[in-house]
Amino acid sequence: MEFVSEEIIDAIIDELETFDDEQYEEQMEAFAEAQPVLFAWLFSEHFELLNEDEKGYLQYLSLIAWRSIVSVNSDVEAVSEDQIGEAEEANYAVLEASKAQDFRDRLNEFFEGSDQEDLLAFAEEAVLEDEDDPESLVSKEAREPIFIAVKTLVDALTGER
């Protein structure tokens, strides 16, 4: 899998910001068609602890990550439930094994040995962007599941473990 740079991610974000609702919906449909199991997982009860805004944000971040990966690696095979489950389990194991108290410090483990550091930095920044703002889109409780979900998606799509 080719490296997805920050420049690619930023270009995808910039492009999505120019889309109207119909164009955005078309992108979500393309995502669902290309990755039906992954897409269904993102919309499953697996994320019922997130509020509606957080679910929407997770889906938006996932669309950005998927489009970024596909833009660099054109043929990305559809992932299976097993691939998602294995990646998610491995990611929670890394998080739980961390001795760090601060959430940001707990994420450092994920960067060691990763081939997709910019995608991980994107996920980290997305959940910690307004961490000190009580009105932040991502609640303190949602940071972990959203980060792990985006990391799991990246792992499943890129074959990284």
Nearest to 72 by CA among 121, 24, 134, 6: 6
**Does residue 131 surpass a pLDDT of 70?**
no
**Does residue 161 surpass a pLDDT of 90?**
no
% of the chain residues with pLDDT over 90: 85
- Answer whether 150's CB lies under 8 Å from 91's CB: no
pLDDT at 53: 95
pLDDT digits (tens, 9 = 90+) for 86-111: 999 999 999 999 999 998 999 999 99
Nearest to 154 by CA among 82, 33, 61: 61
The mean pLDDT of 12-29, rounded to a whole number, is: 97
**Does residue 137 surpass a pLDDT of 80?**
yes
**Does residue 133 surpass a pLDDT of 70?**
yes
**Does residue 32 surpass a pLDDT of 90?**
yes
pLDDT at 74: 83
pLDDT at 129: 81
pLDDT at 27: 97
- Answer whether 84's CB lies under 8 Å from 92's CB: no
**Does residue 160 surpass a pLDDT of 80?**
no
Cα dihedral value 104, 106, 112, 114, nearest 10 = -70
Mean pLDDT computed over every residue of the chain:
94
